[in-house]
Structure 1
Amino acid sequence: MQRAVRVVHHLLVLLMLREIQCFAAVAARLGFSAAAADLGLSQPAVSQAITRLERATGVRLFERNAREVRLTAAGKALLPQAEQVLEAARAFTGEAARLARPTIHLAYPPLVGTLAARIARRLAGRTPALGVELRPAGRAAAARALAAGEVSAAIIATPAPAAFVTAARFHVTVDHLAVPPGHRLDQRGGVAAADLGGEALLTPAGRPWQGLPGRARTFADDDFAAALDLVAAGAGVLPLPQLLARTIRREDVRFVPLDAGDLRITYALAWSREQATPELMALVQAVQDALWTR
Structure 2
Amino acid sequence: MLLMHKEMHCFAAVAGRLSFSKAAADLGMSQPAMSQAITRLERAAGVRLFERTAREVRLTAEGKGLLPYAEQVIEAARAFAAEAARLARPTIHLAYPPLVGALAARIARRLAGRSPAIGVELRAAGRGAAAQALANGEISAAILATPAPAQFVTAARFHVTVDHLAVPAGHRLESWPRVGGAELGGEVLLSPGSRPWAGLPGRSRMVADDDFAAALDLVAAGAGLLPIPQLLARTIRREDVRFVPLDAGDLRITYALAWSKERVTPELMALVQAVQDALWTR
Please indicate, yes or no, whether the TM-score normalized by the shorter chain is above 0.5: yes
Range 147-156 or range 89-98, more displaced: 89-98
Which residue of the partner structure matches residue 3 of structure 1? none
Contact 2:194 2:209 in 1 (8 A): no
- Provide the rounded CA distance (Å) in 1 between the counterparts of 2:240 and 2:12: 58
- Provide the rounded CA distance (Å) in 2 between the counterparts of 1:252 and 1:64: 69
**Residue of structure 2 aligned with 1:73, choices 32, 46, 61:** 61
Which residue of the partner structure matches residue 140 of structure 2? 152
Once the two structures are superposed, residues 33-76 of structure 1 have per-residue CA deviations (whole angstroms, 9 ceiling, x without a partner) of 11011111122221221122122222222222332222223222
Identity %: 82
Aligned residue for 2:214, secondary structure, equals helix
- Provide the rounded CA distance (Å) in 2 between the counterparts of 1:206 and 1:28: 61
Which residue of the partner structure matches residue 208 of structure 1? 196
Aligned residue for 1:173, secondary structure, equals strand
Q: Answer yes or no: is 1:226 the counterpart of 2:214.
A: yes
Once the two structures are superposed, residues 193-228 of structure 1 have per-residue CA deviations (whole angstroms, 9 ceiling, x without a partner) of 222222222123422212112222211201112212
Residue identity in the other structure for 1:198: G
Mapping for residues 51-200 of structure 1, pairs under 5 Å: 51-200=39-188
Change (3 A) 1:138 1:61: same
- Provide the rounded CA distance (Å) in 1 between the counterparts of 2:95 and 2:148: 14
Unaligned residue ranges in structure 2 (runs of 5+): none
Once the two structures are superposed, residues 114-165 of structure 1 have per-residue CA deviations (whole angstroms, 9 ceiling, x without a partner) of 1112222222222222221111111111111100111111010001111111
- Provide the rounded CA distance (Å) in 1 between the counterparts of 2:54 and 2:227: 79
Aligned residue for 1:287, secondary structure, equals helix
- Provide the rounded CA distance (Å) in 2 between the counterparts of 1:166 and 1:123: 19
Calculate the aligned-residue CA RMSD, in Å. Answer: 1.5
**Residue of structure 2 aligned with 1:21, choices 2, 9, 31:** 9
Q: Answer yes or no: is 1:48 the counterpart of 2:36.
A: yes
Contact 2:167 2:173 in 1 (8 A): yes
Which residue of the partner structure matches residue 235 of structure 1? 223
| TM-score for the superposition, normalised by structure 2 | 0.95
Once the two structures are superposed, residues 56-111 of structure 1 have per-residue CA deviations (whole angstroms, 9 ceiling, x without a partner) of 22222222233222222322222122111111111221222222222211111011
Aligned residue for 1:246, secondary structure, equals helix
Change (3 A) 1:205 1:63: closer
Once the two structures are superposed, residues 170-211 of structure 1 have per-residue CA deviations (whole angstroms, 9 ceiling, x without a partner) of 110000011122323222100112222222221234222121
Unaligned residue ranges in structure 1 (runs of 5+): 1-8
| TM-score for the superposition, normalised by structure 1 | 0.91
Cα distance, 1:275 vs. partner?
2.1
Q: Answer yes or no: is 1:287 the counterpart of 2:278.
A: no
Cα distance, 1:258 vs. partner?
0.4
Aligned residue for 1:46, secondary structure, equals helix
Aligned residue for 1:235, secondary structure, equals coil
Aligned residue for 1:270, secondary structure, equals strand
Change (3 A) 1:205 1:29: closer
